[in-house]
Chains A and B, each alone.
Chain A
Amino acid sequence: MSTLKEWIFTTDHKKVGLLYLIGSLAAFAVAGMSALMMRAELTSMGPTITDNPGDYNTWLYFHGAAMILGFQIPALTGFLANYLVPLQIGAKDVAFPRINALSVWLFYMGIILALLTFVVPDPPDVMWTGYPPYSTITFGNTALYTFTVLLLGFASILGGVNFLTTIAFMRAPGLGWNKLNMFTWCTFAAFILQLIFVPVLGTAVTLISLDKYLGTHFFDPSTGGDVLIYQNLFWFYSHPAVYVILLPFIGIVFDIIATFARNRIFNYKAAVYGGIGGIVLLAGEVWVHHLYVTGMPDWIRVGQMVTTLLISIPVGLLFISLVGTLYKGSISFETPMLYALAVVFLMLIGGLTGIPLAIVSLTLHVSDTYYIPGHFHYVMAVAGTFAIFGGIYYLFPKFSGRMYNEFLGKLGFWITFVGVNVIFFPMMIVGVVVGMPRRYWDYSQFPAAEPYHHWMTAGAGMIAIGFTIVLANWIYGLVAGPKAPGNPWGSRSLEWTTTSPPLDHGNWEEVPKIEEGWGPYEYGTGKA
């Protein structure tokens, strides 16, 4: 009992981080099950497991909202940031431990609110995007959507204040900006984006509930409102939100690849200032590519086609650094590294298939088809999830003091990896070739799509098996795994200089000393 109390009221960044992990994995599990239900429904044309499209719409709503807001963002900027950032900068804790505890509480309340979707009689059916006028005229519970977003958003804002302060002011003496881990840099950038853009999302979702429940007319053209304002506000946040997910996951992938290649980051400065910095600068100027088919003025559609394409420059620099880090490395292939390399592969496909989506004339056909979910699952959903799983495996010995099973780890990885390609590649093809639109409960008007759907459902089954093995492996590792050595991967990074798990408060006996020539990626210098 006392330990439960200790966990609930903890202000220790590591415990807060693990709480984020547990909550976000719960959201992942339920959202994953909704995905399986959807895939089962779509196996064949016509009603398959439910003849109520409302059921399908609810699963789809929950899958999207919970995976993005309840799983990926909290797992990356909650769990990984909380656990890793103070350790990577040699700090005893975050700057505001109590605010940190408050944000994890808000996160849990948000998760509980989201899960109420399956309890209330009129579940939200507005998709994770919540576009009005539909969201203001539906019988579904739009308020639940609004308040879930507000709670999770507020948790993020508090996290942003906390981590920007922590990284700016609590680095160990001698740890300059150019010696920061890539993950810490990426977290810093992600929270800058969160702080700027989350309030915009909060405004947007608040206004739809005002419209629906209090009779205002922000989005009702018959009384002077405008339906497109919401979409502009929403994507003004939600495109940067893609980078809030992308940056931390690419950061952890950098750290994993550098560790398992025992190599310095290729062109670190270009990756940090050109890559990460470029993304932060461009993030807010590309949102109109989500509105290419809404009748936005032509000049802004063409203008943002150019800005959207320019995103390829910072992302390209990050890619060159990722692949370049392998050059002259000493590469080993444990489970975390397999996940990290898979992320590079998935991002390569996902990123490149995003290029046609930047081109306004091509989206006139592919927008809102299955090509879109195929593309963003590659570049964000699956790549992000693989990075999170790789991160969990990477930190497993750190936070548990034990090792997982390497064979099960690799088995789970390969099954999942094949599965995601079996589901999401056909998804892109069916979108372009057949023109199958997304968010469909039935596709009787597109009989040519059915064979593709068989493949996709098979892929979903593989993913389910793969993730079950992964979960079983983690439970086995936590309960019965062999004791882990202090630094099992031979990393130079600061988080591995303390005990595993680190001391409860303070992380180190005394603040780590940063020597002149030290850096988190200074391999090959002969000094261990």
Chain B
Amino acid sequence: MGGNRLYRALSTALLATASGLVRAAEEELSEFVPYEKIVPREIEDPAAGFDHLWYEVMVDITIIGVVFALLALYFLYRYRRRSEDEEGSQKPLSRLNIIGWALIPAFVFMADDFFLSANGWQLYDLYRRVPENSLEVKLESAMWTWDYTYPNGVKTYNELRVPAGQPVVLRMTSRDTIHSHFIPDFRIKEDSMPGRVTYLWFYPKEPGEHVVSCAEYCGQLHSRMYGKVIVMPREEFDAWYQAEADKQNIKLTKLGD
């Protein structure tokens, strides 16, 4: 009897999970648009999404951890040895219990896994879909420097100046070995490597300075491979951008004389 009830409960749970997955996949496919052709919408900041999901996961794992730890501590106290020749008295499990104690926790964990996967996937989408009006900067990394090239040809080293309020996308490659462009304040990194072009984007909202530091071991001065992301108010940035272009272009024309 108990077996039947268990069987029914489990198969219901299985069906529910499966149909949920199918529905999620259908939704995902129905709204599929190639990454870079997304209709403009209000820009969401992945960094804020990160903080939110991180908090959610921390709550999730803390609950699991505390439940296991309290249970273990209670057992340790409750079943401490009272006399020298005392032995444990746990009985072998019945077949139903064996299966139940395997499948039910497995389903609980699996449900949590799928829940986390779904949230993780959603945020990942945000991280990888570059908003349309982004400022596109090329990055070439090398031991041990970050070289940025702006759309108008302006080049900077170890210093990425960007306007506040516009998303920035970096198209990255490397001259020598693998580096990783990590901006902790924007919760983002991606490796740059020879032979491939990778990308990352971030959304600087307020003016300010942020550290960018290498996160992939690249030899002797790995820890000294750092620079700054300087977020400037729009007008200041435009002025700097134009002045820098003039300065660097002047040099080029002089070389050509």
Contacts and interface: CB of A to CB of B under 8 A. Distances in A.
A316 B112 CA distance: 12
Given A293-B180, A312-B109, A355-B57, A440 B198 contact: no
A133 B101 contact: no
Interface in A301-358: 301-302, 305-306, 309-310, 312-313, 316-317, 319-320, 323-333, 341, 344-345, 348-349, 352-353, 355-356, 358
Contacts of A269: 98, 102
A316 B103 CA distance: 11
A443 B182 CA distance: 14
Contacts of B75: 323, 326-327, 329, 331
A222 B90 contact: no
B116 A293 contact: no
B211 to A, nearest CB: 5
Given A264-B92, A446-B211, A524-B88, A313 B109 contact: yes
Contacts of B46: 361, 364
Given A359-B120, A369-B215, A348 B68 contact: yes
B223 A221 contact: no
B25 interface: no
Contact of B113 (A309, A345, A362, A442): A309
B8 interface: no
Interface string B88-123: 111011000110011001100110111011011101
A323 B72 contact: yes
B64 A434 contact: no
A508 interface: no
B216 interface: yes
A137 interface: yes
Nearest to B85: A490
A53 interface: yes
A221 B216 CA distance: 18
A329 B91 CA distance: 11
Given A133-B176, A138-B219, A440-B222, A362 B54 contact: yes
A441 interface: yes
Contacts of A327: 75, 79, 90
Contact of B106 (A309, A316, A443): A316
Contacts of B221: 53
Nearest to A368: B215
B64 A352 contact: yes
Contact of B190 (A293, A349, A440, A524): A293
B117 A294 contact: no
Contacts, number: 261
Contacts of A360: 120-121, 124
Given A312-B112, A328-B89, A365-B50, A295 B187 contact: no
Interface string B114-138: 1011011101101110000000000
Interface string B55-78: 001101110110011011001100
Nearest to A294: B191
Nearest to B200: A364
A44 interface: no
Contact of B128 (A298, A442, A446): A298
A306 B72 contact: no
B121 A134 contact: no
Contacts of A445: 211, 213, 226
Given A261-B88, A348-B65, A355-B61, A267 B93 contact: yes
A439 B225 CA distance: 12
Interface in A208-253: 221-222, 225-228
B112 A302 contact: no
Interface string A151-172: 0000000000000000000000
A263 interface: yes
A57 B220 contact: yes
Contacts of A92: none
A274 interface: yes
Contacts of B114: 306
Contacts of A262: 81, 86-88
B226 A294 contact: no
Contact of B50 (A53, A298, A361, A434): A361
B7 interface: no
Contacts of B64: 352
Contacts of B213: 435, 437, 445-446
B49 interface: yes
Given A312-B112, A329-B79, A364-B188, A227 B222 contact: no
Contacts of A432: 54
Contact of B178 (A133, A312, A330): A133
A435 B92 CA distance: 49
Given A137-B176, A331-B81, A364-B187, A306 B117 contact: yes
A228 B191 CA distance: 11
Interface of A: 53-54, 57, 125, 127, 131-134, 137-138, 221-222, 225-228, 261-264, 266-267, 269-270, 274, 293-295, 298, 301-302, 305-306, 309-310, 312-313, 316-317, 319-320, 323-333, 341, 344-345, 348-349, 352-353, 355-356, 358-362, 364-365, 367-369, 432, 434-435, 437-443, 445-446, 523-524
14 contacts: A262-B86, A264-B90, A293-B190, A302-B121, A316-B105, A325-B90, A329-B75, A331-B79, A361-B127, A362-B120, A369-B184, A437-B214, A445-B213, A524-B87
Interface of B: 46, 49-50, 53-54, 57-58, 60-62, 64-65, 68-69, 71-72, 75-76, 79-82, 86-90, 92-93, 97-98, 101-102, 105-106, 109-110, 112-114, 116-117, 119-121, 123-124, 126-128, 176-178, 180, 182, 184-185, 187-191, 193-196, 198, 200, 211, 213-224, 226
Nearest first, the 9 A-B pairs at minimum CB distance are A221-B195, A435-B184, A263-B88, A295-B198, A359-B120, A440-B223, A326-B75, A270-B102, A361-B123
Given A137-B177, A266-B93, 11 more contacts: A57-B222, A227-B194, A267-B97, A270-B98, A270-B101, A305-B121, A310-B110, A324-B101, A352-B65, A361-B123, A368-B189
